[in-house]
A and B are shown apart, each in its own frame.
Chain A
Amino acid sequence: QITLKESGPTLVKPTQTLTLTCAFSGFSLSTSGVNVGWIRQPPGKVLEWLALINWNDDKRYSPSLKNRLSITKDTSKNQVVLTMTNMDPADTAKYFCAHGWYFENWGQGTLVTVSS
């Protein structure tokens, strides 16, 4: 059974850096073909893909956010970490991690509020 769970701060201040962790089980990011991505959803709004990392450590970022994002993996810990710099109130959203190229499995999401 594949599970994913996001964790990190619920409140960050403008200009701070956000660090989110996706802890997963049921698969290995060292297995060929495996991907983990991050997606966010502002309250009442639509989904926005942020970043993706694969088993080969290839990384892809949203063109509009690539200067602020970094995605890394720790295969031994079964974790993927997303960092986003220079947070703004417009970044308030629920942040999800998901497994697979088609995002077959999702975490429950974690709500991050950006406010002073």
Chain B
Amino acid sequence: EIVLTQSPATLSLSPGERATLSCRASQGHSSYLAWYQQKPGQAPRLLIYDASNRATGIPARFSGSGSGTDFTLTISSLEPEDFAVYYCRQGLTFGGGTTVEIK
């Protein structure tokens, strides 16, 4: 069973800064990696699928990269609405999440 490790656990940044989130898989079989954003009290929202493809309606400031075991979600310039928890997922396994909080 794949284990996904997200780092850092918490990222403290200011609006306008760049956010770089990491997701490392214990096995490198697939590029079927997805990223989700979740705000308090809401369901998760799909941001990125197949490691680098933005889902419908997702702003261009969100980008995904990586392959094998190492994947990255980048938010080029944080907007106030981007402060949330981000999860990666591969197959049917979710990572432990990264909280992006306002510094």
Contacts and interface: CB of A to CB of B under 8 A. Distances in A.
Interface of A: 37, 39, 46-49, 52, 60, 62-63, 96, 98, 102-104, 106-109
Contacts of A60: 92
A107 B45 CA distance: 11
B43 A96 contact: yes
A102 B49 contact: yes
A87 B27 CA distance: 32
Given A46-B96, A60-B92, A102 B43 contact: no
A75 B97 CA distance: 34
7 contacts: A47-B38, A47-B87, A47-B89, A48-B94, A102-B46, A103-B89, A106-B43
User: 5 nearest interchain CB pairs?
Assistant: A106-B43, A47-B94, A102-B49, A49-B92, A102-B34
Given A63-B1, A102-B34, A104-B55, A49 B46 contact: no
Nearest to A109: B43
B46 A104 contact: yes
Interface residues of B, number: 19
A62 B44 contact: no
Contacts of A39: 94
A63 B44 CA distance: 23
B76 interface: no
B93 interface: yes
Given A46-B87, A46-B97, A63-B1, A103 B92 contact: no
A69 to B, nearest CB: 12
A102 B50 CA distance: 9
Interface string B29-41: 0000010101000
B55 A107 contact: no
